[in-house]
Copies of this chain bind each other. A is one copy, B any other.
């Protein structure tokens, strides 16, 4: 057993975190120990996968994916995670425009779950809807399990909602934790979570919200910066403040990219839409008001274009700690002169950080697998250890 694997098993034993029978919807609903446990399981799975040992803790079983918004990366991460654990993925394709309500949600949740162990949902387009929908599914599954409809209670995993994107923020966290050499090393580090210009509009808020709410728990100094008007949901701001206070870190909001980048150890420049715009968009989408949506897009793009200066380029990077801050992105980035004329990041800055961003993304399948394992096993560490010691090979 490698030193890394041994220390991860030891950490898990210490944490005594219990997620069995639960869902993973918002990081801020979970205790520090639960977050740390999922992260440790994710790293264990990644290390054991690298040693070519199978981790199929399910011999059969379905994992249902429900993507209410387009996705390639998260779809593959979820498929990879489920396959790693031995689950077969079945997509629930509702049709893009449908927002299911009431009876349908309750019934469908049960109908797709007779032999299902995990349900992954992405629902990030509608402010006030995504998280609500996930809770509705979870309650329907509780009901079905308690009443004897389902032999098992599938775990619901949030693959991005209107509030949080936990599989992304926890992958981000693992990336910087390993970059700096441990969670302790993150204390006092400054991370700039900033808005950046993009020639598109309507990008979800869940990434910046997820990042500020999670990083503040680890004693980091988080500065959130955006042009006036590009506010996040107030509730998530409150969570970030509370976390910073408790962890001994800090949380600051500014309207200056320069301020945020100044002496930052880590920068995370990314476009998003103001939550008030997203609320208007939700209302228009519900009414199928195509003309209204066109009008809103036009208005927002005009507004965005006032802030083309919010680009992560050499000049900005020079402001950071030693000019060498770690650049992060959830991908795909809008790269100036590569994927668009003017975007979130210059080609030079992105190219230097590119492999890093790929590695950042590479944690996601293991984070998802860890969430499923933690929520469906009474003692996930014991299950993983048994597999690790099986002497089997994943690839012959």
A residues within 8 Å of B by Cβ? 49-50, 54-62, 64, 72-73, 75-77, 79-80, 83-84, 86, 88-90, 92, 102-104, 107-108, 110-112, 114-117, 144, 147-152, 331-332, 335, 338-339, 355, 358-359, 361-362, 364-365, 376-377, 383, 386-387, 392-396
Contact = CB atoms under 8 A, between A and B. Distances in A.
A80 to B, nearest CB: 4
Contacts of A84: 60, 115
Main secondary structure of the interface of A (DSSP, over half): mixed
Given A59-B392, A64-B76, A147-B358, 20 more contacts: A57-B396, A58-B396, A59-B393, A60-B86, A61-B395, A62-B76, A72-B111, A72-B112, A77-B114, A80-B90, A80-B116, A83-B115, A88-B88, A88-B89, A103-B338, A104-B332, A107-B332, A115-B365, A149-B359, A386-B396
A155 to B, nearest CB: 12
A44 to B, nearest CB: 14
7 contacts: A49-B115, A58-B395, A59-B392, A62-B80, A62-B83, A76-B111, A102-B338
Given A73-B111, A359-B148, A62 B79 contact: yes
Q: How many copies does the complex hold?
A: 3
A64 B73 CA distance: 13
A376 B355 contact: no
Interface centre among A76, A77, A147 (most CB of B within 10 A): A76
Contacts of A54: 59-60
Nearest to A94: B72
Nearest to A54: B59
A61 B53 CA distance: 12
Given A54-B60, A79-B90, A362 B114 contact: yes
Nearest to A108: B72
A62 B88 CA distance: 11
Given A60-B83, A83-B61, A358-B110, A395 B117 contact: yes
A76 B112 contact: yes
A90 B78 CA distance: 11
B60 A149 contact: no
Nearest to A152: B395
Contacts of A376: 395
A395 B86 CA distance: 9
A180 B64 CA distance: 33
Nearest to A395: B58
Given A115-B365, A383-B396, A395-B376, A147 B355 contact: yes
Given A83-B60, A396-B58, A107 B358 contact: yes
